[in-house]
Chains A and B, each alone.
Chain A
C-alpha cells in the first residue's frame, strides 16, 4: 500500500512513484481510469462502480506489474471470483484464461528464475457491472493462497501517477469540507462519497467545554495551533478587523456558557503519574506529539501542548471518555476509558501541557457576542458547524467552481490575495492534488467504491500508526519508546511478550466483515489478544462501509460467520488433532473456559473466537505457514506443503487434517 503511506507521510510528489501494481480501468473499450493497487483483487456489486471515476456499468480492468522472484520457483496460478473473462499473462505469455465462475482450473506449472517477471491480469466484469476476482498461487511446499502485495512491484507511469494524484485531490476536496460551501445544486444523489456527509464539530455548548482564550487563538490562527488541521483560516489575524472578528466569535461561542469563572485546578501528582502510564500504555504517541515535544518526523501527529489552556475543568476527561460526543467524525477514537483512566490521563495531559500553550503575538481586543453572531453569519460558519449562524452558503456552487481554473481563482488560488475567502490549510502536495482533481469534474463525488473508501479510511483513521501493513511497520513500533519513561516505574512492563498489534496486510481476507465491524465499533465481546497492554479503540464513524471496504479491497464480498454443516467424523478427528494425541494445540490455545495447558509466554487466541473471526480461506493460509503470514509468529508449522508431520491421520494429508480441525472449531 505504498501510495497510502506516501500520502500519510505528506511528502511532495517527486518523479514517478514505486507501487505494487497499476490497474487500468476501461469502459466500452476506452481507458477511463488508472489506480495503484496492492494486489490483484476487486469486488464490485452490480450497480456500483469499480472506481468513482467510472460508470456503474460493465468494465474491464488490467493489472500490470512485476512479480518479484527471489529464488527459482515453480508456480501454479489460479483465479477465484467471477466475470466475463480473466486472463493471466506472465512475461507476455498467456498462462491462464477463465470465464464465468473462476477457480475450476489452474495454470500449468511455470518455472520462474530469480528476478522480475512482467505480470498482466486482464479482467472483464459481468455484463451487469458486477465483478469479483482474486489471484492465487501455489507450489510444492506452499498451499494455494492469494499473492501478497510484497510479491509485486511497479513503477507508476505518468498516467497512473496523474490518476493517483486526481484521486488524492478528490479525498482532499471531501475532507476539507469544500462542498459545504460549494454545494451542488441538486445534492450528491443516493450514493455519494461518504466523507461528503461528514460534519465539522458541533459547537453548541462549547462555552462549557473550552476557554474563550483558546477559541480566540484557534479562530485567529488554527494552523499555528495544529499544523495539520482542516479548519481553514477564516479571519486574517494580521489586521485589527480580523482580530476583532476572532474575539467576537469567541465571545459569541462562550456567551451561552452556564458555568462561569471556573478556576483551573492543580492536578494531583499521583494522578498525573498514573495518567502518564495510561498515555504510554495506550500508545497515544502514535497520533500525538506529547506537549512541547516534536519528534521531528513528518507523520502530522497532533500536538498536545494546548490541552491545558483549552479545556475547562473536568471537560478534558469528558472528552477523552467520549471524543465523538460533539464531533461524530473525529479521528480521535473511543478507548472506552474507565473513569480512573480518563481522570488520570486528563490530569497527565493537563500537567504535561501546562504553560506550553502556543504563544501568538496578537493582542486580542475584547469581543462582543452580538457582533460575533453576525460574524458567524457573514463567514457562514454554519455551513460546516451545524447550528452556527450562517448555515446557508453564498459561495459559488459546485457546478460553477468546476468550470474555473482553481490555480487562478478561488480559495486555493495563489495568483492574488483572496482576502475574503477562507484559506484552507493545505500542504503543497494536497494543493497539487486538489488542482489535479479540479480538472476531472465533480461527477466522481456522486459515487464511490467501497475498497477505495477503505483505503482512504486507513489513512484518515491512521491505522498504520499502530498496525503494520504490507512491508511497512507500524509507526508506533519506532516511536513508542519515546514515552517509555512515563511508565518506567511500573515493574514488569518491559518483560511482557511482544506487544505489537496485529498486522493489516491480510485483514480483508482474514476476518469476517461482521467481525471487522465489531472491532471498529468496539463491540467485540472478548478481546482476541488479551496479552496486549494496548487495546483497539472504537472508530465508530463509517464503521460499516469501512468494514465492507476492507473485505472488498481484498476481493471479497462482505461476510459473516455462518453455521457450517460439519461432518461428525471430521469433528472427531479434529478434536483429537488439537489435543495431546495430535498437534497439541491446547498447549497454547484455550478452549472457552479451559485454559491452555502450558502456554509459555501467553495463551494464543481462544478456539471459541476463531469461527466468529476467520474466513475459511485465510484459516488454511494461516495453518499452512503461520510465519509466512506473520513473520515471527510463534505458531508452529505442522506441514511442509501438504505433507503433514503427522503421518497416520487422514493419510498425512495436511489440508484434510486442517479441515478436520476447522470442522471441530465450528462446533465450539
Chain B
C-alpha cells in the first residue's frame, strides 16, 4: 500500500491531567490516626452504627457523623474473593485474597488483603488480625496494614458478623 493511500483507523492521544486530591475532613482525621497505628470509626448520631473508614456521613441516614470510636485491629471475614489477575498499578502478585472485613467495634466492612493463609481455607466468619508494617514506615495510608492474617479464634456465626464488640469475640 502506498503511503498516500494508507487508511488511518486511529490515533494515539494520551490524556494526562493532574489533580491535587484531598481526602475530606473525616478521612483526614481517620488517616491521622492510622499513621499512629490506630483504626477509628465514626458513629452515626441517629442509628448508632459505626462506619470505618468514616466518610463524614451516615449514608443510610444522610446525616453528618462526628463521634469517633477507636476500633480493634481484629476483624471478621464477611466475604472474600481469590483473585487471579493483577490489579493495574499495583505490585500484588496473583493469586491473592481480597476480603470484605468487619473490624471489631464496627458495623460495616472495608476491603483489604489477606495473606499468610491457605487461600482455599479462607471462609466467611473467619477471624483475622492486621499485620502492620514496621512503625517507621507508617504514613497517612491504609496500607500501613500490610494485610490481615487468620488468628486462632472460633468463627463468628454469619448473623453476628458486623455486631462484634470492640472488646473482641469470645466464641
A and B from one complex? no
